[in-house]
Amino acid sequence: MSASGTAAAGQVEHMLRQVAPGRYDAYEGLLHALADPGGQVWMLLWHGQAGSPDAQYAAMEVDGLGYAPCVTSAQELSASGWTRAHEVVPTREAAAGLYQDQVGLWLNPHAPGGGVGVPWADLRRLAVGLDAQPPGPLRISEPVIELPQFYALLAQNAHRTPALRSLRRAWVQPALGVPYLAIGLDVYDPGAQAVESVRAMMRQSVGAVPDGLAVSTVAMSDPYDPVALWLRAHARPFYDRDAHAAPPASGYGYPQPYGR
């Protein structure tokens, strides 16, 4: 292993010893150590040999979530007593491959206390950049702050943005950092021109947000973003172009509910 790889492994193992229940700062430090460009993990293979077409990672399940077990250095591999094959993989490469299957990474399961699991949502952060996503676990709920002027302006500007299909909202509390209002953007076409028109719509609208309130956006088309997943499962649109365009129902009935 290179000197940079040895240093990265040492930092990961140092941070692993700091992680404890409720120590989200230490866990975030572990993620930063794992994100080191020189970092590697020793993936435990259940079938096949490293590099072979039939190679298959070992698997484990904890609290209903799937994980691939690994160790953090050659020394930990020896200590683990693993007798089957293994494969040394750059940490970011392992993260990028696993999160798309919604599989996490379990570090040093042989260690006292059972090691530490990194769920797939945090592997996604490792793969795309830790600063691009808020630190989890996230507490997501419906917004309780009344913002009638902002929502009205946002809906008005959305109606003038043909690329936008609908808008949803959620209140997100990261494990570290300030809570924020998330606006879910559902577009007809994810092309660059459409995306820019939606960004312009948001810039025109955020002036109505009170000072000190953080607002972020999330693409509803993202199949892995935890906020988008929550919005799709729990939040009805507060603006829906297709609903507005639908002809009124004939006969007796009730008006469509608008927002929450």
Name the segment(s) of the chain with CATH classification 3.40.1350.90.
Answer: 3-132
Bridge partners (DSSP) of residue 74 are none
- Fold of the domain spanning 3-132: Trna Endonuclease; Chain: A, domain 1 (3.40.1350)
Name the segment(s) of the chain with CATH classification 3.30.300.
Answer: 139-245
**pTM as predicted:** 0.81
The arrangement of secondary structure in 139-245, i.e. its CATH architecture, is: 2-Layer Sandwich (3.30)
Per-position pLDDT tens, the chain of length 260: 555 557 778 899 999 999 999 999 999 999 999 999 989 999 999 999 998 899 999 999 999 999 999 999 999 999 999 999 999 999 999 999 999 999 999 999 999 999 999 999 999 999 999 988 888 889 999 999 999 999 999 999 999 999 999 999 999 999 989 999 999 999 998 888 999 999 999 999 999 999 999 999 999 999 999 999 999 999 999 999 988 654 444 333 333 343 43
What per-residue string of b and e applies to 62-80 under the rule 16 or more CB within 10 Å gives b?
Answer: eeeebbbbbbbbeebbeeb
